[in-house]
């Protein structure tokens, strides 16, 4: 459940608001949990400064952090801000006091979204383009809308904390979407994040595609395996619209004691693949995905020397039916990781 608040009385309804912009074209959803003020303000500032004004921003305060509320409502002098308010272009929600996780927050945003398209944005990242920073939302929307897409995938920049953004192309991973997709291409079964997608809102709602709230980690990977089979109306763009703050994510990953629980998503991904009669065709690719991403993201000794964690991870890895023949097709590092866990 999320908390509803009465409308904030001091909102000036004559400011730039929904009466002027009409129905928003894009809803941006930002869950905020233990966020740095500088990160959240940067994210909001860039959105507010966009030339394209037909957007709404939904910020979900996950954990009743008063700082997040103060930051959001400090924008009242620039934009119409409120709780659940028809005039608010920036809308504020709270989860229950306990930390509900990003899945719960994103679901609140999705259920309340009024935009034609929806974009899920992390609180410590930001919209970015070297070509025209203030036209990111317009260009993103125009690409999707001109083809009436259900999903637009795009490239990103990576911010490593050195005051420069590095362009990252995922063309090799997602180029199959731009080919004849009347037949299924196994190469699309990657681990995709949620923040390089622009979704048609009614596509997600119509198909009841919501984030799995049982997953505290990896829900953005797991949801990909559910929505990817539901439409052919999806394209990959070589343009990059988003900067991923990798330095912030790395510190979060390595301080998170339960990241090994990300392996729980194997259970749900396998179920989806079986339902689509693709599990045995895609099993090896799934093994490679898991071995690769978790080898890089988890210090291996946190699992190897912790019996409880090791047994937990082993339980879900065994769902992939890994054989000795599978191990021979992995890199040496990936093979070592799996052998140490499974032995």
**Looking at the DSSP assignment, which residues form a beta bridge with residue 59?**
30, 92
| Residue 246 confidence (pLDDT) | 81
| Residue 11 confidence (pLDDT) | 34
Per-residue pLDDT of the chain (343 residues; tens, 9 = 90+): 444 442 333 333 334 454 566 789 999 999 998 888 999 999 999 999 999 999 999 999 987 777 898 999 998 877 777 665 556 899 999 887 677 788 999 999 999 999 999 999 999 999 999 888 999 999 999 999 999 999 999 999 988 877 677 877 766 666 666 665 555 566 677 777 899 999 999 999 999 999 999 988 889 889 999 998 898 899 989 899 999 988 766 444 444 445 667 788 889 999 999 998 888 888 888 888 777 666 666 666 667 777 887 788 788 888 888 888 888 888 887 787 788 777 7
| Residue 334 confidence (pLDDT) | 78
Q: Which residues of 39-59 are buried (b: 16+ CB within 10 A; e: fewer)?
A: bbebbbebbbebebebbbbbb
**Looking at the DSSP assignment, which residues form a beta bridge with residue 29?**
58, 120
| Residue 343 confidence (pLDDT) | 73
| Residue 175 confidence (pLDDT) | 67
Q: Give residue for tokens 């894009």.
A: 26
| CATH no. of 2-256 | 3.90.550.10
Is the separation of the CB atoms in 156 and 250 below 8 Å? no
Domain ranges, ordered by start, for the chain: 2-256, 260-342
Closest CA to 160 of 220, 250, 238: 250
């Amino acid at each position: 459940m999320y908390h509803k608040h009465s409308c904030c009385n001091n909102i000036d309804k004559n400011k730039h608001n929904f009466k002027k912009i009409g129905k928003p074209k894009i809803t941006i959803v930002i869950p905020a949990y233990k966020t740095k003020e500088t990160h959240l303000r940067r994210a909001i500032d860039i959105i507010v400064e966009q030339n394209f004004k037909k957007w709404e921003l939904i910020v979900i305060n996950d954990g009743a952090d008063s700082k997040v509320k103060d930051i959001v409502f400090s924008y009242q002098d620039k934009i119409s801000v409120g709780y659940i308010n028809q005039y608010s272009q920036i809308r504020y929600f709270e989860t229950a006091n306990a930390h509900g996780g990003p899945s719960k927050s994103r679901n609140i945003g999705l259920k309340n979204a009024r935009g034609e398209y929806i974009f899920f944005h992390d609180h410590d990242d930001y919209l970015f383009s070297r070509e025209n920073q203030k036209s990111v939302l317009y260009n993103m929307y125009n690409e999707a809308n001109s083809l009436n897409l259900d999903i637009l995938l795009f490239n990103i920049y990576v911010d490593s904390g050195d005051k420069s953004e590095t362009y990252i192309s995922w063309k090799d991973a997602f180029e199959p979407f731009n080919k004849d997709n009347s037949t299924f291409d196994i190469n699309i079964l990657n681990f995709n994040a949620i923040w390089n997608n622009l979704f048609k809102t009614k596509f997600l709602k119509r198909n009841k595609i919501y984030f799995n709230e049982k997953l505290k980690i990896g829900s953005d990977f797991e949801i990909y395996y559910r929505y990817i089979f539901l439409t052919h109306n999806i394209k990959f763009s070589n343009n990059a619209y988003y900067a991923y703050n990798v330095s912030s994510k790395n510190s979060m990953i390595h301080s998170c004691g339960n990241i090994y629980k990300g392996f729980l998503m194997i259970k749900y991904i396998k179920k989806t693949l079986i339902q689509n009669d693709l599990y045995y065709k895609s099993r090896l690719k799934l093994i490679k995905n898991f071995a690769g991403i978790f080898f890089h993201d988890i210090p291996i000794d946190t699992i190897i020397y912790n019996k409880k964690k090791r047994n937990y991870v082993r339980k879900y890895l065994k769902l992939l039916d890994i054989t000795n023949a599978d191990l021979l097709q992995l890199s040496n590092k990936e093979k070592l990781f799996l052998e140490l866990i499974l032995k």
